[in-house]
Amino acid sequence: MSGFDKRVNSYEEAMAGLEDGMTVLAGGFGLCGIPENLIAEIKRKGTRDLTVVSNNCGVDGFGLGVLLEDRQIRKMIASYVGENALFERQLLDGELEVELTPQGTLAEKMRAGGAGIPAFYTATGFGTPVAEGKEARQFDGRDYILEHSIIGDFAIVKGWKADRYGNVVYRHTAQNFNPLAAMAGKITVVEVEEIVEPGELDPAHIHTPGIYVDRIIKGTFEKRIEKRTLRE
Amino acid sequence: MALTREQMAQRVARELQDGFYVNLGIGIPTLVANYVPDGMDVMLQSENGLLGMGAFPTEAELDADMINAGKQTVTARKGASIFNSADSFAMIRGGHVDLTVLGAFEVDIDGNIASWMIPGKLVKGMGGAMDLVAGAENIIVIMTHASKDGASKLLTKCSLPLTGAGCIKRVLTDLAYLEIENGAFVLKERAPGVSVEEIVAKTEGKLIVPEHVPEMVFA
């Protein structure tokens, strides 16, 4: 096959090269659009001392929450971690380090990391605990803080459809942080619901162009709903 | 009488304008969507990447890939768009959202807001709140005027760690609607049957009371 065929045949192959102490960026918002099988593979591999960058840390027993069970995460960089009892306990026991980051800053850190921008100024967090130890600067009379971008050794991403070239589209709000994580991984692994023939995806509608993607695998997904809410 | 949650939402809804893009925080702010006046069209932004949030789904419409920032299942309305988290916060941080409504623990006379962290209690995170307060020109804070034990939440200086500095100009409490100008709260309206004296007594920060303070009217 050509060098552009990003498909791999197993989850073991998809996460090959992940080592203790690495930084992993994960797409998803709550349990929506999370790379659930890639997370399960990290659990199976037993890789430890990971720094995980993701908006949230799953729930007890699902999503990134499963990586807490065997204490595989050393440090979590997230904007909100409120849905997870095991997380709270490890945090209070000092087994887990947490760097709380405003959600927009977290998204921009990944985007910037993938775009070759080492740091950026933002008004978000100025005058708050988030600004501690960070350079502050005024532009046009307004205060900003300097935030450093993030690059991951691995990015784990959940897409809807992809072709073998690694072009990816996401479904509805399952997009969230996924395209940003995809940009910022040294090795970006995308699991999708469907791998389609080249040409089936409209080139103008690709969310993540294949240049960001190293490995593609087709999975089956539970897609658990966190807060099932129906119209009355 | 102090305003009910529904009345607070109803009062804030009067600040909506046709064609507004609006971000509503979790809790009472979410209720504002129930009081959009007839004939007015507003587009709700949900920071996980949805502009044009619709109603909650029916059983048939339920879709795990379609949620709001509170992680509840939702639908998208006609005219909606969906995008990634960096684009979502570009809208917020770039000042493109017309009105932001969110809750708080405390606000002060310099427009500082504390809404995410109580020292000694477990901190779950700021989510998108710091981005929202730093990025929006037009913010309304909805909160109770005082805590259950009577301590004022409208202060000279916030006692809790801040969510944002100098960014709040308008506050609706269960007792009053106030604006923050030149280092003071200005009492603009009072809840039906609530006296100016009660509001003065429950406002710790400097409060300017105009000669006439109209009472809010609810249908």
Question: Average pLDDT of A194-207?
Answer: 98
- Across the interface, whether the CB atoms of A105 and B131 are under 8 A apart is answered yes
Mean pLDDT, chain A, rounded, equals 96
Classify the complex by whether its ipTM is higher than 0.95, answering yes or no: yes
In a domain, B47, yes or no: yes
pLDDT of residue A92: 85
**Does residue A209 lie in a domain region?**
yes
- B217 domain-assigned: no
CA distance B193 to chain A (A): 33
Residue A138 shares a structural domain with residue A109: yes
Check: CB of residue A166 under 8 Å from CB of residue A132: no
Find the closest chain B residue to A174 by CA distance: B65
A15 within a domain of the structure (yes/no): no
Question: Span B164-170, mean pLDDT?
Answer: 96
> How confident is the model at residue B91, as a pLDDT?
96
Residues 85-104 of B with CB under 8 A from A: 85-86, 88-89, 92-93
DSSP 3-state assignment of A114? helix
CATH of the domain at A203: 3.40.1080.10
Q: Do residues A57 and A160 both lie within one domain? A: yes
Cβ-defined contact of B126 to A130 (cutoff 8 Å): yes
State yes or no: pLDDT of B166 exceeds 90: yes
The arithmetic mean of pLDDT across residues A208-215, rounded, is: 98
B90-128: per-residue pLDDT in tens? 999 999 999 999 999 999 999 999 999 998 887 889 999
Whether A186 has a pLDDT exceeding 50, the answer reads yes
For residue B158, the model assigns a pLDDT of: 98
- Cβ–Cβ below 8 Å for A231 and B58: yes
pLDDT in tens, A79-96: 999 788 999 889 888 899
Residues A171 and A203 in one domain: yes
Residue A28 pLDDT greater than 70, yes or no: yes
Query: Chain A: nearest CA to B80, how far in angstroms?
Result: 11
| Mean pLDDT, range B74-93, rounded to an integer | 97
A200 in any annotated domain? yes
pLDDT in tens, A33-50: 999 999 999 999 999 999
Number of domains present in the structure of chain B? 1
Of the listed ranges A144-148, B24-28, B210-214, the least confidently predicted one is: B24-28
Question: Which of A29, A128, A180 is facing B161, going by the closest CB pair?
Answer: A128
Q: Distance (Å, rounded) from C-alpha B66 to C-alpha A162?
A: 20
Same domain, A84 and A38: yes
Is the alpha carbon torsion for B115, B13, B148, B27 positive or negative? Answer: negative
**Average pLDDT rounded to a whole number, residues B153-170:** 97
Alpha-carbon distance of B94 to B114, in angstroms, equals 22
pLDDT band at B188 (very low <50, low <70, confident <90, very high): very high
- Which DSSP helix (H) or strand (E) runs through A188? strand A185-192
Interface list for B 29-68 with A (CB within 8 A)? 46-50, 55-59, 62-68
Statement to judge: residues A193 and A120 lie in one domain: no
- Please report whether residue B176 resides in a domain: yes
Which one, of A25, A3, A200, lies nearest residue A101 by Cα? Answer: A25
Q: Determine, yes or no, domain membership for A9.
A: no
> Does A82 share its domain with A109?
no
- d(CA B18, CA A224) in angstroms, rounded, equals 37
Per-chain mean pLDDT for chain B? 96
- Does the pLDDT of residue A173 top 50, yes or no? yes
One domain, residues A63 and A166: yes
In this model, does residue A101 exceed pLDDT 50? yes
**Is residue A10 in a domain?**
no
Q: Do the domain assignments include residue A185?
A: yes
Beta strand pairing status for A185-192 and B21-24? unpaired
Per the structure, how many domains does chain A have?
2
Verify that A75 and A159 share a domain, yes or no: yes
Domain that includes residue A170, residue range: 21-100+153-218
How far from chain centre, in Å, is Cα B170? 9
For residue B158, tell me if it sits in a domain.
Answer: yes
Nearest Cα of chain A lies from the Cα of B202 at a distance, in angstroms, of 26
Give the span between the Cα atoms of A176 and A188, in whole angstroms: 16
Using CA atoms of B128, B47, B9, B37 in order, give the dihedral in degrees to the nearest 10. Answer: 150
Domain limits for position B189: 5-208
pLDDT at A1: 47
Catalytic site residue from B6, B15, B47, B198? B47
Q: Which chain A residues are closer than 8 Å to B63 by Cβ?
A: 172
The answer, for B166 touching chain A at a CB cutoff of 8 Å, is yes
CATH number at residue B115: 3.40.1080.10
Give domain status of residue B214, yes or no: no
Do the Cβ atoms of A128 and B162 come within 8 Å? yes
Known catalytic residue at B137 = no
Q: What is the mean pLDDT of residues A135-158?
A: 98
Same-domain pairing of A186 and A87: yes
Question: Predicted confidence band at B169 (pLDDT cuts at 50, 70, 90)?
Answer: very high
With respect to residue A203, please indicate whether it lies within any of the assigned structural domains.
yes
User: B124 and chain A: CB distance < 8 Å anywhere?
Assistant: yes
> Is residue B36 predicted with pLDDT exceeding 80?
yes
Residues A136 and A66 in one domain: no
